[in-house]
Structure 1
Amino acid sequence: MRLRVEFTTEPFDLDEAPEHAVVAREAVETAGLDAVDVGPFGNTAEGGADAVPAAADALLRRTLTAGAPRVSLQINVVGEDGR
């Protein structure tokens, strides 16, 4: 199964990324996911059924530890692996 995770951390600042946004980006970029798209208003990444939940766990733990008072997260099934 192939999954897509969409997430935001708040509050955000267009002038300088807060620490919680930086660690969120690092969490998905180092998780072995593909199709990673990180931006100021939303972020997405795709991967397998094991990789995405593991990345979401790391993202939540790291961003909350870094001071994010709010993290929005959505995971969708987007297909089968290999497609």
Structure 2
Amino acid sequence: MRLRVEFTTEPFDLDEAPAHAVVAREVIQGAPLDTVDVGPFGNTAEGDVDAVLNAVDAMLRRSLGAGATRVSLQVNVIGEPADPADPGEADK
């Protein structure tokens, strides 16, 4: 199964990235995920179910430990690995 996770950590600081946001970004960028997109107001990553769930677990634990007071996240099932029915896979 493939998953997409979208998340934000709070509190926000528009002047510089707070420690909890930096930690969350480092965890996600260091995980064995297929795609990662980090931004100032939200982050998205996709990958295998185990990779995403392990990354989310580590991100939650480390960002809360670094001062996050709220983490909002959404997880979506986006398909099966190498499923030719997935959009774009038939073209490969």
TM-score by structure 2 length?
A: 0.86
Q: Which has the higher contact order (CA 8 A, sep 6+)?
A: 1
Q: Give the number of the structure whose alpha-carbon radius of gyration is greater.
A: 2
CA RMSD, aligned part only? 0.9
- Name the amino acid aligned to 2:31: A
- Unmatched 5+ stretches in structure 1: none
4+ residue runs over 4 A deviation: none
Task: Give the match for residue 74 of structure 2.
Answer: 74
* Whole-Å separation in 1 of the counterparts to 2:54 and 2:8: 17
SS at match of 1:59: helix
Query: Percent same amino acid among aligned pairs?
Result: 75
- Unmatched 5+ stretches in structure 2: 84-92
1:57 partnered with 2:60: no
Task: Give the match for residue 88 of structure 2.
Answer: none
How far apart are 1:18 and its partner, in Å? 0.2
TM-score by structure 1 length?
A: 0.94
Q: Which has the higher strand share?
A: 1
How far apart are 1:35 and its partner, in Å? 1.4
